[in-house]
């Protein structure tokens, strides 16, 4: 392609994409090496993948990812330790609180400990806040937590436990709370209160991940509001799973020129905004490289077409002014 996103943003933040075992195969391999300096495993480090049966940890696929990354000077994000989805049949699935805590500790200690010093940041807790649950007047954010296996088995404390276990296992890794719809004011306020409270209690939480699964109607102002509000907590803010869907895309075809341009304009506006917050934003990671492999492939949210050629959005991001 002759240009590189990672180089274009070298003075601002890291530029990431997702990793799957297919990333090791060309042409994706070369594209990732050329354009990105950071990767997040799309699925292979999720709880059910890391610990497919109780006490058995599957390190083979992540090992291959780490080898690829280290050979090519690419940073790696661990995703994710605690989530209500893709978490298997036993983790947190008990009414015995002590047993659940032991499972949480064991999972985090083994996974984080095994990769100590090699993972730049962990999404420790993913999507723990309910949608549409406003922060109560007394500020008690624990009332806004999603009903998950961990909330049921341990209670709201599972969140701070997870961060403490992760910090013990790798004191140098940055530890993140990660969630979607973070530009929704209602959710952003809950997350803000939670992170503020945890930090005041000395819980090792260093960053907030705004996933960024948007569409072309996203309000840039709403994204800015949240970045600003989270930055004021003095934590890192990263855009962890960016993809911009084109909702009127026709599933069987590629995007029209108009749709590609419309998508490119939104990407450019967001990157202009991200640049202004470069002191807080550590990385911007795309949730997908090539449209046909995206989890939202029917809405063509990525920077590269199915034939690996760059879309309008790619060029718009290279030079968003
Ligand atoms: C998605 C993956 O992209 C899919 O392949 C998988 O089937 C489901 O999970 N929020 C997250 C990611 O934190 O882990 C999700 O990834 C997308 C939403």
DSSP assignment string, 176-231 = EEEES-TTSHHHHHHHHHHHHHHHHTT----EEEE--EEETT--HHHHHHHHHHHH
Pocket test for ligand 1, best of 20, 295, 297, 302 (most atoms within 8 A of CB): 295
Residues marked active site are found at 241
Domain at 22, CATH number: 3.20.20.80
pTM of the entire predicted model:
0.98
Q: Is the predicted pLDDT of residue 110 greater than 90, yes or no?
A: yes
Tell me what percent of the residues of the chain surpass a pLDDT of 90: 97
42 CA distance to ligand 1 middle (Å):
6
Q: Could you tell me the residue range of the domain that residue 253 belongs to?
A: 5-318
The predicted-structure confidence for 262-286, as pLDDT tens digits, reads as follows 999 999 999 999 999 999 999 999 9
What ipTM is given for this predicted complex?
0.99
Q: Is the predicted pLDDT of residue 56 greater than 90, yes or no?
A: yes
What's the mean per-residue pLDDT of the chain? 97
DSSP bridge partners of 244: 214
Integer Cα distance of 312 and 256 in angstroms:
11
43 CA distance to ligand 1 middle (Å):
7
pLDDT of residue 320: 87
pLDDT of residue 1: 83
Q: Is the predicted pLDDT of residue 54 greater than 80, yes or no?
A: yes
In the chain, the number of structural domains is: 1
Residue 126 Cβ inside 6 Å of ligand 1? The answer reads: yes
Integer Cα distance of 127 and 67 in angstroms:
29
Q: In which band, very low, low, confident or very high, does the pLDDT at 251 lie, cut at 50, 70 and 90?
A: confident
Residue nearest atom 15 of ligand 1, based on CA coordinates: 42
Residue 28 Cβ inside 6 Å of ligand 1? The answer reads: no
Integer Cα distance of 279 and 3 in angstroms:
24
Tell me what percent of the residues of the chain surpass a pLDDT of 70: 100
Q: Is the predicted pLDDT of residue 313 greater than 80, yes or no?
A: yes
pLDDT of residue 321: 78
Kindly state the average pLDDT of the residues 60-73: 98
pLDDT of residue 252: 77
Residue nearest atom 16 of ligand 1, based on CA coordinates: 42
pLDDT of residue 102: 98
Q: Is the predicted pLDDT of residue 253 greater than 90, yes or no?
A: no
Helical H runs in 95-184? 97-114, 149-153, 158-169
Integer Cα distance of 148 and 85 in angstroms:
9
């Amino acid at each position: 392609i002759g240009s590189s996103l990672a180089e274009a943003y070298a003075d601002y933040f890291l530029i990431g994409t997702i990793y799957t075992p297919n990333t090791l195969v060309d042409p994706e391999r070369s594209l990732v090496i050329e354009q990105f300096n950071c990767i997040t495993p799309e699925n292979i480090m999720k709880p059910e993948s890391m610990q497919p049966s109780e006490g058995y940890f599957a390190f083979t696929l992540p090992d291959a990812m780490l080898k690829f990354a280290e050979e090519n000077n690419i940073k790696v994000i661990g995703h994710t330790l605690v989530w209500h989805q893709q978490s298997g049949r036993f983790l947190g699935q008990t009414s015995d609180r002590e047993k659940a805590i032991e499972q949480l500790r064991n999972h985090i200690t083994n996974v984080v400990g095994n990769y100590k010093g090699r993972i730049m940041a962990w999404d420790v807790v993913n999507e723990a806040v309910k949608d549409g649950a406003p922060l109560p007047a007394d500020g008690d954010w624990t009332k806004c937590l999603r009903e998950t296996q961990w909330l049921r088995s341990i209670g709201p404390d599972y969140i701070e436990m997870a961060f403490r276990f992760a910090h013990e296992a790798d004191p140098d890794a940055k530890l993140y709370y990660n969630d979607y719809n973070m530009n929704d004011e209602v959710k952003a306020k809950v997350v803000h209160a939670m992170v503020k409270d945890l930090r005041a209690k000395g819980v090792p939480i260093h960053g907030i991940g705004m996933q960024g699964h948007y569409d072309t109607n996203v309000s840039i102002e709403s994204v800015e509001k949240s970045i600003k509000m989270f930055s004021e907590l003095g934590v890192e803010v990263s855009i962890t799973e960016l993809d911009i869907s084109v909702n009127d895309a026709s599933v069987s075809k590629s995007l029209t020129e108009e749709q590609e341009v419309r998508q490119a304009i939104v990407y450019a506006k967001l990157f202009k905004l991200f640049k202004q917050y470069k002191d807080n934003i550590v990385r911007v990671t795309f949730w997908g490289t090539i449209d046909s492999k995206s989890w939202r492939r029917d809405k063509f949210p990525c920077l590269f077409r199915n034939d690996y050629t760059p879309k309008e959005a790619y060029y718009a991001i290279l030079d968003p002014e």
